[in-house]
Amino acid sequence: MALVALLLFSLFYFSSGIGTPSSIVGVNYGRQGNNIQSPYQTIRLLKNMNVTFVKLYDADSETLTLLSKTNIQVSVMVPNHEISNIALNQSLANLWVHENVLAYYPDTRIRFILVGNEVLSYNRSSDIRVWHNLVPAMQKIKKSLAAQNIRNIKIGTPLAMDMMESTFPPSAGKFRANIIGDVMAPLLHFLNSTKSYFFLDVYPYYAWSRNPTRVSLDYALFEGGNGTTYTDHTSGLNYTNLLDQMLDSVVFAMSNLGYDDIKLAISETGWPHSGDLEEPGANMYNAATYNRNLVKKLTAHRTGTPARPRAVIPTFIFSLYDENRKSGPGTERHWGLCHPTNGRAIYDLDITGSRSDYGRALIKPTNSGAYRGKAWCVVARGVNEVEVGSALESACSQVEGMCEALRPGRECYEPVSVTSHANYAFSSYWARLWNVTGGSCYFNGLAVETTTDPSHGSCKVPSVTL
């Protein structure tokens, strides 16, 4: 009986194209940056990292061509804005498959087609049409593949945890009421009938950072024990980490709709290694701890969750590079495993799980809470001075009289430099915006937060109190 079970286990991996248990961890390759290495350099980096799975946010021709005849298995994506047209027209679905799959397959080992990205997170009324077109688009892509007798490419769609109405306790997991009938029910039916995966973008960092006093940091970082466990008294299941707890809430939500066997895949997870001063826990130590423990869990034949202890969960870490063109808080631009300019590791991580002895020890922060005190918004190092000058003019023009101190003869006129004047303008604008909307210090990637006061002489640069 044990031999039969082992045989079935092996057949699952090789027939599904998922590979061996130690190869289920991949990375997301996003390109929202102006300093990211070329696709050629990136593919070489992936090989050096022994990455066997990579997820793209498009179907970039150069990247897919360079991935040809490598051992790297690939996930490509249908952009959100193309979903509705594909859903309504089989010919467009055929064309998309021809141009973005057949042109490279099978030399390029495309294993997943993800239709859209976090489609159900779009809450604007104009996007609800896309919700209803999601599954029809997936069905038409599937039909296109079937017409070419391609059966080993799975089709899914990555969904964020905001699709959930309830996640705690996990046994009470429930999808949002406005998507259950029209969207989630047909999606689950499609995934079940095609034996595909339910793809999740799941971030314990966000769940912890929104309320760090109620959720243990050790629990979020897979450092369970010492009182950092949780028991779901309804199911009787014990949890030692926040990721499992979040995943099982989706497992129970699917089960409540009659689907007990749909496999899970994690399309995005990770931890930011830096961020704005008011964002707690975003540091290199925590990022390395989370991702190292994640890989250890996934590659040590303990890949399941308490509700599914023997499940194999393919997982893509977010992200390969920092992406400096992403908007929003600072953490948005600091999830990378590697520096975008040269591909060097930001911290040591063996994505294969074959080693756990990391050389250089990282210093554990004495306080993972958010910074409390004064902060300023200043010009980031290494940015283009011409772009800084344009941003300086734009900031000063937004609020009448805000930059009077920069005029000749006034207290902040000297030193006469773009950087010095921009430090004043950026901080002034941020201080006014912060008091009204709590906005971030970003300026299209030209600015960063600092606790070092840029004031000088009689020039007092406005600050924000975090």
What six digits make up the tokens of 297?
Answer: 């869990």
Q: Bridge-partner residues for 174, per DSSP?
A: 166
Which is nearest to 128 in space by CA: 136, 137, 119, 141?
Answer: 119
According to DSSP, residue 229 is labeled: -
Residues 289, 363 contacting (CB under 8 angstroms): no
Does the annotation count 393 as an active-site position? no
Find the catalytic residue in 82, 165, 223, 268: 268
Sign of the CA dihedral 29, 33, 34, 36?
negative
Sign of the CA dihedral 139, 144, 150, 154?
negative
Does the annotation count 268 as an active-site position? yes
What six digits make up the tokens of 235?
Answer: 């199911």
Pair type for strands 464-465 and 374-379: antiparallel
What six digits make up the tokens of 332?
Answer: 């948005």
115 burial class (0-12, 13-18, 19+ CB within 10 angstroms)? buried
Find the catalytic residue in 118, 165, 411, 414: 118
Please enumerate in sequence order all residues whose Cβ is within 8 A of that of 164, keeping only pairs 6 or more positions apart, or say none: 173, 174, 175, 176, 249, 250, 253
What's the rounded Cα separation, in Å, for the pair 49 and 103? 27
Catalytic residues: 118, 268
